[in-house]
Amino acid sequence: DSAKFQYVGSVLGTPHPPGYPLYVLVSFCFAQIPVGTLAWRINAMSAFFATVTAAVCVLVLRRLHVGRAISAGIALSLAFDAALWPFAVRAEVYSLTGALTAVLLLCAVRWEATRRERDLYLMVAIFALSLGNHLTAAAMAPALIAFVLLTDRRAIHWRTAVISTLIVVAGLCQYGFILLRTAQNAP
């Protein structure tokens, strides 16, 4: 898949179902950077998002009042772990998934501290955005819902549920981009 992912963003193509629209759009942006070869730029994108994952991990841990040294040690362990490192050195969707998941956790911790609706909606928006990178993000939905309900059941009422649902539907609209591109490229 790496060779396909190194190329597909530069032409706004579809690597294979389900399409990975967010990854394609982000890799298109990285493909425009006038440094190195196309393959190098997209591989560097994976390294960039793996670095973001580790950095945001530190921010999450610090918000949870974990000490600096321990936060840095945990983030470094994550960065060089077999779960992230292999995807940080080649073109693949998983380092972007890691970065989005880390940002989602940061948003959750922030919402828990503030209980502001806008922070809740930001958490939902990051979740919806991550659906366009890899559909395994959908597996986080039950945990996010449980987290919100266990943290503050009063935060969920009909208006919040409707707005959150609309945000998720908007996130799923990323796949419309893939359908349009596929229809344009059909013979």
pLDDT digits (tens, 9 = 90+) for 92-109: 999 999 999 999 999 999
* Over residues 150-166, mean pLDDT: 94
Other Cβ atoms closer than 10 A to 1: 12
pTM metric for this prediction: 0.91
pLDDT, residue 33, reads: 95
Do residues 91 and 48 lie in contact, with contact meaning Cβ atoms separated by under 8 Å?
Answer: no
